[in-house]
Chains A and B, each alone.
Chain A
Amino acid sequence: MTKDLSRKDRTLGETLRSQGVSRRSFLKFCAATASMMALPPSMIPTIANALEKARRPSVIWLSFQECTGCTESLTRAHTASVESLIFDSISLDYHHTLQAAAGHAAEAAREAAMEENHGKYLVVVDGSIPNGNNGYSTIAGISNYDMLIETAKGAAAIVTVGTCAAFGGIPHAKPNPTGAVSVSDIIKDKPIINVPGCPPIPVVITGVLTHFLTFGTIPDLDNLGRPKTFFGQSIHDRCYRRPFYDKGLFAETFDDEGARQGWCLYKLGCKGPTTYNACATTKWNGGVSFPIEAGHPCIGCSEPNFWDGGGFYKAISIPTENITKTTMYAAAAGVAAGVAIGATGRMKKSAAGKAHQKVTIDDLEK
């Protein structure tokens, strides 16, 4: 992020060439991007062309109530990757974790970028926003709430990175002391692309940015504002352990034979069936692995309220509360009620017996 502001006007193609990226590697990158976004190969020249000509767009990154895990995820790539290429190609004008500037200088950079690129810049948000007592989280004396409102005004679009920004995430979890909310709870008049995950997959973040750079449009989103390209299928449906689920082969504990055999982790509470993300396909750490492959059930981190979903190690089909106890108490109460109501029935029956008037042959007709 040592990019020289004077190079801001160069196109992406010029930047890449100046860094010694060959045309061949650039096209390979475009092809990889196309396949990642599930676009046909015929789109590769379009992507190349668009990226070639793209001006480095201004990006303002706002970090609110967050743990910096999302940023860590993004910057911890082991090798020079597609994502690093892309990040070398945008003008990250404000990111208070990464930028060298601090204090007023930093805020001045943000304000300058906003003014210069009004209506065109992209806002990236990680972290949730305390809404209620805004004093829970401030930057340079400005509350997160105010900063978001102010920065969002001139934005072309907002990308939320991480579940906190997208859905409230962990700060939003019960009892939610700060009254944390998501970006979409506050901003209603700007296009918002949610890239949830705790943290999100780096490739997914860059993929979304690539889409915006290539087409200048918002990708197809699902009902939770997530790009369908990456969040269109559940972990369960793309999981390499799915055949074990279908065969009924499950790990019962973390150290049993099933666990060693790599069987399905459903019984250990895997949230794969209710979680939409690309972990099972793109994987993590440069495609090395993902949690299920490492032997741990999916915790559903890219879904709203995942922290309050009834326990990471409780299977989805298990009630979150102790219904054994409930059922036993209810059954006991039912027995008592049944005996009581049954007793009134019995009394009614014996009353009918007492009210019985002997039927003689003279009583057979009216």
Chain B
Amino acid sequence: MSASFEKGYNALKEQVDASVASFFSSCVHCGMCSEACLFFTETGAPERTPINKTEPLRRVWRQEYTLLGRLGKIFGFGKKVTDDMLAEWETLIYDSCTLCGRCSMVCPVGNDITDMIRKTREGMAASGHAPPGLIGATKRAVTIGSPMGVKLPALQAQIAHVENDTGMTIPVDVEGADYMLLLSSMEIMNFPEFIEAVAKIFKHAGVSWTISSDAFEATNSGIQIGSSDIAAELVQRIVDAAAKLKVKNVISPECGHAYMAIRWEGPNLIGKSYDFKVVHILELLDDLRKKDRLRVKGRLKDRLTYHDPCQISRRGGVIDEPRNLIGMFADNFVEMPDPGKMNWCCGAGGGVSSNERADEIRLRVFQRKKDQLDAIHVDGMISACSNCRIHLEDGLEEYHMELPVLSLTETLAENLDES
């Protein structure tokens, strides 16, 4: 078994549905999506216009699902999808798109271009045109359980570390807990403070929770590479672990695409609704706030802003929650230009950060974020996605900017009134 053009073409045929057909029928080539995409605005390359990234899917729709296109195909008219063509589009579809969804918000005819690029990736992955970096991450996710190769002992070591530092107990494999916390590998390896912060807040608010040793990884490389089969397998592991521990809720951590994968794509990938609810950590925290279960000590005077992770806000619907939470402890909160659902991507989502080939361009397009930050002069930037955070730090360093990048959960934990 291996990738083949036929498999890829077949996958593209599977992806076309009424919404895709409506979108392609409606496109008037106005080019407005280019101005919504930081990979265009920061490079000026016309081929990086979002709608052009869907070209393989468009050709399949046209030649397979429209009367004129089908007739044209018989008589040899119209542009075909070929293996060479897919190879040519690979860097556009993977290196120059973070699936951030901004183009879908500005398209005047209402095309969900991002959704179509996501669908196009299904054909790319099946035909062997995914970037090597993403293929590697996907293999590790399936075989090891984490795209970064984080194994259970590594998590256990971090948990022991936190327990030693704080004296708290981190619940693992507790059957019947209300909430099962997922973590991203980045949180385990780069930001173990997150585990500590969650433990502290949940202790403070009296939340019953646990971590599963079977499925603690929240990220889903299958979504990023565009393989529903692999994505479904990774989702199934979480579903099984949740069933085993009989939890009522699963918490998606501070990671954008993990939330997209487990919250929105998950049930559709495995073909059935969950027996549990999925909440983003910010949704849960905001719920606790509403129930008055969180008390903060004092208020921060720093000028703070919030970077909306695309998959959490624009594609995920968690927009008001972070603002409510920040409002608990920050006196000087300022919005970036184009906040909330119109926020600009950090430049490394959608698998770009796993794709070393895209390192140069992701730092180049960070200019957009720099411009946004230059406009507001803040003392700190809060976010709620560890992938965003790593790349934001990377970008700030690249552009010689001094600005702390904070986790919302961690910042909230630090400001809890523990008296």
A and B touch in the complex (CB under 8 A): yes
Q: Identify the A interface with B (CB < 8 A).
A: 341, 345, 348-349, 352-353, 355-366
**Smallest beta-carbon distance A97→chain B, Å:** 64
**Smallest beta-carbon distance B234→chain A, Å:** 11
Q: Identify the B interface with A (CB < 8 A).
A: 1-4, 7, 10-11, 13-14, 16-17, 64-65, 67, 125-126, 128, 130, 135, 138-139, 142-143, 225, 227-230
| Closest chain B residue, CB of each to CB of A350 | B14
Q: Are B16 and A364 in contact (CB under 8 A)?
A: no
| Closest chain B residue, CB of each to CB of A344 | B70
9 of the cross-chain contacts (CB-CB < 8 Å) are A357-B7, A360-B229, A360-B230, A362-B1, A363-B3, A363-B7, A364-B130, A364-B227, A366-B3
Q: Are A363 and B2 in contact (CB under 8 A)?
A: yes
**Smallest beta-carbon distance A137→chain B, Å:** 55
CB neighbours (8 Å) of B14 from chain A are: 349, 352-353, 356
Q: Are B11 and A356 in contact (CB under 8 A)?
A: yes
Query: Which 3 residue pairs spanning A and B have beta carbons closest together?
Result: A352-B13, A366-B128, A359-B229
Which of A341, A355, A359, A360 has the most chain B CB within a 10 Å cutoff? Answer: A359
**Smallest beta-carbon distance B97→chain A, Å:** 18
What's the Cα separation between A349 and B142 when bound, in Å?
29
Q: Are B64 and A364 in contact (CB under 8 A)?
A: no
CB neighbours (8 Å) of A362 from chain B are: 1-2
CB neighbours (8 Å) of B13 from chain A are: 348-349, 352
**Smallest beta-carbon distance A346→chain B, Å:** 9
Given A349-B13, A352-B13, A352-B14, CB of A366 within 8 Å of CB of B2: yes
**Smallest beta-carbon distance A354→chain B, Å:** 10
What's the Cα separation between A242 and B227 when bound, in Å?
69
Given A345-B64, A348-B65, CB of A356 within 8 Å of CB of B10: yes
What's the Cα separation between A103 and B390 when bound, in Å?
115
Given A349, A355, A358, A364, which contacts B125 in the complex, CB threshold below 8 Å?
A364
What's the Cα separation between A348 and B17 when bound, in Å?
11
Q: Are A345 and B65 in contact (CB under 8 A)?
A: yes
| Closest chain B residue, CB of each to CB of A348 | B64
Given A352-B10, A356-B14, CB of A363 within 8 Å of CB of B65: no
What's the Cα separation between A353 and B16 when bound, in Å?
11
Q: Are B65 and A364 in contact (CB under 8 A)?
A: no
Q: Are A361 and B2 in contact (CB under 8 A)?
A: no
| Closest chain B residue, CB of each to CB of A346 | B65
Q: Are B3 and A365 in contact (CB under 8 A)?
A: yes
What's the Cα separation between A152 and B229 when bound, in Å?
91
Given A348-B65, A352-B13, A365-B135, CB of A359 within 8 Å of CB of B125: yes
Given A348-B13, A359-B230, CB of A364 within 8 Å of CB of B1: no
| Closest chain A residue, CB of each to CB of B4 | A366
What's the Cα separation between A296 and B154 when bound, in Å?
97
What's the Cα separation between A343 and B67 when bound, in Å?
12
CB neighbours (8 Å) of A349 from chain B are: 13-14, 16-17, 65
**Smallest beta-carbon distance A36→chain B, Å:** 56
Q: Are B1 and A357 in contact (CB under 8 A)?
A: yes
**Smallest beta-carbon distance A272→chain B, Å:** 40
| Closest chain A residue, CB of each to CB of B229 | A359
| Closest chain B residue, CB of each to CB of A337 | B67
Q: Are B138 and A364 in contact (CB under 8 A)?
A: yes
CB neighbours (8 Å) of A348 from chain B are: 13, 64-65
Besides A356-B14, A360-B229, 6 more A-B contacts (Cβ < 8 Å) are A356-B11, A360-B1, A361-B135, A364-B130, A364-B139, A366-B128
